[in-house]
Amino acid sequence: MRFPLTRSERRLLLTLAILTTVTFGGGFGILAPAFLGALPTGIAVTLGTLAGALFGLGTTWLVDRVWQWAGGMSNGIAMQRAMSSRKLPADADPHLWAILLDRQERDTRRTVLYTAFFSTAAVLYLLATLHGGYGVSGWWGWAGFIGFVALAIYTPFDSRSRRRRIQVLRSQLPPTADGDTAVR
């Protein structure tokens, strides 16, 4: 079930797309010659700008998907507040929140995939850094390796904490109209 975004949310997404594309495109374009030293500067700047623009658009696409998944920006913000405070909003619709909590719970089960991705990326960074080629060497390679190892360790613990919070929130849901308690 996808929730359509309001006009103001779509406008905000367009603004976000423009800002992230320009910011990351420009930033990656400036930094690319330093990391792609083997390539001519013009090609490195072009590739960096293109990669940054795609990264910015990808970030906007992810924000769009998260908002639609959460039922709009306001529900997404309400979900984040509820997860951090462990209390449902006073005006929480039991049916809507049961769906949103089901989605959150399903996402926590995907932690295995995220952990596998971060672990694989850490191994690849380690191999590329030890090899010294592929444009990944020195502090940049070790920073990438340490970052992905940290994410691979942190992700399962975060998921476990989110599962407990979801259970607490689900226990606060009142019975729905058909008598279902929405508690699992």
Same domain, 100 and 159: yes
- Any domain includes 148: yes
pLDDT value of residue 156: 93
Q: pLDDT of the chain along its 184 residues, tens only?
A: 567 778 888 898 889 899 988 888 888 888 777 776 677 888 878 888 888 899 888 888 888 888 887 778 888 888 889 999 999 998 888 888 888 899 888 888 888 898 999 999 999 888 877 876 555 566 777 888 899 999 999 999 999 999 999 999 999 987 656 665 554 5
Please provide the size of the chain in residues: 184
Task: Give pLDDT, residue 31.
Answer: 79
Query: What total number of domains does the chain contain?
Result: 2
66 is a domain residue? yes
DSSP characters for 108-176?
Answer: HHTHHHHHHHHHHHHHHHHHHHHH--TT--HHHHHHHHHHHHHHHHHHHHHHHHHHHHHHHHHHTPPP-
Q: Give the pLDDT score at 115.
A: 92
CA dihedral 40, 46, 51, 54 (to 10 degrees): -170
Contact at 8 Å (CB) between 56 and 21? Answer: yes
Q: Residue 99 contacts by C-beta under 8 Å, 6 or more apart in sequence? A: 1
Q: Write the burial class of residue 166 (CB in 10 Å: 0-12 exposed, 13-18 middle, 19+ buried).
A: buried
Please check whether residue 76 lies inside any domain of the structure. no
83 domain-assigned: no
Cα distance between residue 183 and residue 176, in whole Å = 10
User: Are the C-beta atoms of residues 138 and 164 closer than 8 Å to each other?
Assistant: no
* CB-neighbour burial class of residue 100 (10 A; exposed 0-12, middle 13-18, buried 19+): buried
| pLDDT for residue 88 | 93
Q: Which of 71, 97, 122 is the last residue of a domain?
A: 71
Do 111 and 147 lie in one domain? The reply is yes
Domain of 179 in residue numbering reads as 88-184
CA pair distance 108, 166, nearest whole angstrom: 10
Reported pTM: 0.66
CA atoms within 13 A on the CB side of 131: 10
Q: Which amino acid is residue 131, in one-letter code?
A: H
